[in-house]
């Protein structure tokens, strides 16, 4: 049986249109046609959600459109996630990461993608979700004896909480127990250095590479 090849452009359009059914269907069709989940995400769905961000900034889209697009993006990701994770190469865990979106911030699409890619690359990921209180990151990391705490932030108003978490670890005498990995659209390598984080990932793949380096396994591709 031949499968229709869905286009990356159609995937982007489904997200822009906030069409949840189409996004999920196109993701499924892509998998059936043996397109790589990662390519569909990076070249189809992400450009779609970025365009939505531009439309919002230009005043073309309002919150309901933004939410419908986010739902469409999530529907596609739900279909693609098992394929991403089944590409896990390693049987042994490279390290344990407590991951979450920082306090005050409910954006979780990028964080989920980072979590899936870390799992797919052999990390043991404990995903605390979004809007995670600073104290909870610390409690969970201590309880899980985590190697790395991964902090996502999508708002200029919440990225400061990444700094606060590091300050809190220092105040509690726990800073040396964990490596801190930060990321999210408003953050940067310079920001990571400024707040004393140990690693920065510009995107999900870079986050995996940074996490490898943090656990002393940066040598592997
Ligand atoms: Co929001 N939002 N939003 N939003 N939203 C942005 C971020 C914004 C840039 C839009 C804009 O103005 N152009 C803007 C922030 C402005 C700023 O602070 N500078 C914004 C705003 C203002 C808001 C609200 C305040 C709107 C309002 O209510 N007035 C509100 C925030 C509420 C809150 O959090 N307290 C809000 C709400 C929402 C929705 C709920 C509607 C929805 C989120 C749904 C969800 O996540 N469940 C939403 C969306 C979808 C967006 C945009 C359009 C897309 C975000 C996204 O998912 N990108 C966004 C515009 C944009 O980004 N261009 C926007 C795709 C995702 C794959 O990329 O998240 O960047 P990203 O993740 C990347 C990298 O950043 C990196 O890897 C990922 C994969 O490549 N990365 C890491 C991320 N985390 C990492 C962690 C790491 C390493 C790498 O290590 C641990």
- Strand 123-127 and strand 148-152: the pairing is unpaired
Which residues lie across from 183 on neighbouring strands?
152, 201
Confidence of residue 110 (pLDDT cuts 50, 70, 90): very high
Q: How far is CA 204 from the centre of its chain?
A: 6
- From the alpha carbon of 69, which atom of ligand 1 is closest? 50
pLDDT of residue 93: 77
Mean pLDDT along residues 147-172? 98
Report how far ligand 1's centroid is from the alpha carbon of 91 (Å).
33
Residue list, ligand 1 pocket, CB within 6 Å: 46, 49-50, 52-53, 56-57, 63, 66-67, 70, 104-111, 113-114, 150-152, 154-157, 181-186, 201, 203-204, 207
* 2 pLDDT more than 60: no
pLDDT of residue 220: 53
Confidence of residue 48 (pLDDT cuts 50, 70, 90): very high
* Count helices and strands in the chain by DSSP H and E runs: 10, 5
Q: What is the pLDDT of residues 86-103, one digit of tens each?
A: 755 444 578 999 999 999
Report how far ligand 1's centroid is from the alpha carbon of 154 (Å).
5
Q: pTM for the whole thing?
A: 0.88
- Out of 110, 123, 203, mutate this one to test ligand 1's pocket (max ligand atoms within 8 Å of CB): namely 110
pLDDT of residue 72: 93
Q: How far is CA 68 from the centre of its chain?
A: 19
* 84 pLDDT more than 90: no
């Amino acid at each position: 049986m031949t499968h229709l090849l869905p286009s990356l452009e159609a995937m982007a359009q489904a997200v822009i249109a906030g069409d949840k059914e189409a996004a999920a269907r196109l993701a499924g069709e892509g998998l059936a046609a043996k397109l790589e989940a990662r390519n569909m995400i990076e070249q189809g769905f992400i450009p779609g959600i970025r365009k939505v961000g531009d439309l919002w900034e230009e005043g073309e889209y309002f919150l309901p459109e933004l939410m419908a697009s986010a739902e469409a993006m999530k529907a596609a990701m739900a279909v693609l996630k098992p394929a991403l994770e089944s590409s896990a190469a390693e049987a042994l865990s490279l390290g344990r990461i407590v991951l979450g979106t920082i306090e005050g911030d409910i954006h979780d699409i990028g964080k989920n993608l980072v979590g899936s890619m870390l799992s797919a690359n052999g990390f043991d990921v404990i995903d605390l979700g979004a809007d995670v209180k600073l104290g909870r990151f610390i409690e969970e990391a201590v309880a899980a004896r985590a190697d790395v705490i991964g902090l996502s932030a999508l708002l200029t108003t919440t990225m400061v909480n990444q700094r606060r978490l590091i300050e809190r670890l220092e105040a509690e005498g726990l800073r040396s127990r964990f490596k801190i990995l930060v990321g999210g659209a408003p953050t940067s390598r310079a920001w990571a250095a400024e707040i004393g984080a140990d690693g920065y990932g510009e995107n999900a793949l870079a986050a995996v590479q940074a996490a490898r380096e943090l656990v002393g396994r940066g040598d592997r591709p």
